[in-house]
Amino acid sequence: QSALTQPPSASGSPGQSVTISCTGTSNDVGGYDYVSWYQQHPGKAPKLVIYEVTKRPSGVPYRFSASKSGNTASLTVSRLQAEDEADYYCLSYIGGNSWVFGGGTKLTVL
Amino acid sequence: QLQLQESGPGLVKPSGTLSLTCSVSGGSVSSPSYFWGWIRQPPGKGLEWIGNIYFNGNTYYSPSLKSRVTVSVDTSKNQFSLKLSSLTAADTAVYYCARYSASYFESWGQGTLVTVSS
């Protein structure tokens, strides 16, 4: 199972919105509503920001939203802030009690 | 508040076996509501799922690592463990333990760097 496809980098200015994609197949992203997103600052453990495609855990700002269309899931960060600069990873269930991560996207706040 | 802490050797030899333990506090590995998992991240690279274990001992492994991985749980110590054999330099990574709820990793340990080198 290959990693899900994410763009290596994304960027935006403070106050703008940025969308990060996560592309898989009908056997993973497209086949299940079990996509989650993780934010990772340098030297830190990943932190859950979205689960089950669109749900936001308690404490995650409303600026983080997500969706899915076909085999592609997307994470949108609105009203960008400096603290949003981090690596972002998607994770999808692939059946058989197995999971696969995306390759990761480095978000830069200009 | 749930806390997970990885522990184990930071340096292991090629062809050897990596052994890590995740100690859980503020929660129980015996809970039927969660799985417990291992994820790794080579330096400068992305995350890779290794495997999960349920409180009853049922295990689920990444197909690419399945032949070399063993995950176990010790309910008496409230810990779960990872063993990875036949190590090469490609196994050098930060290894994270995490609690898996329904369909996502909700809580993570801080991670521990394991270097494979002679």
Q: What is the pLDDT of residues B36-57, one digit of tens each?
A: 999 999 999 999 999 999 988 9
Which of A57, A93, A96 is nearest residue B103 as measured by Cβ atoms?
A: A93
- Cβ neighbours, 10 Å, residue B33: 10
pLDDT mean over B67-81: 96
CA distance B75 to B30: 6
At residue A97, does pLDDT exceed 90?
no
The answer to whether A51 and A41 are in contact (CB under 8 A) is: no
pLDDT mean over A62-82: 98
Q: Answer whether A52 sits within 8 Å of B103, measured CB to CB.
A: yes
Amino acid B51: pLDDT = 96
For residue B40, the distance in angstroms to the closest alpha carbon of chain A comes to: 11
Amino acid A15: pLDDT = 97
pLDDT bin (cut points 50, 70, 90) of residue A17 is: very high
B105 chain-A contacts, CB cut-off 8 A: 36, 38, 46, 48, 91
Contacts of A103 (CB under 8 A, 6+ apart): A3, A4, A5, A6, A8, B46
A46 chain-B contacts, CB cut-off 8 A: 39, 47, 96, 105, 108
Amino acid B36: pLDDT = 96
The answer to whether B99 and A57 are in contact (CB under 8 A) is: no
The answer to whether B97 and B34 are in contact (CB under 8 A) is: no
At residue B106, does pLDDT exceed 80?
yes
Phi, then psi, of A63 in degrees rounded to 5? -65, -20
At residue A1, does pLDDT exceed 80?
no
pLDDT bin (cut points 50, 70, 90) of residue A57 is: very high
Percent of chain B, pLDDT > 70?
Answer: 100
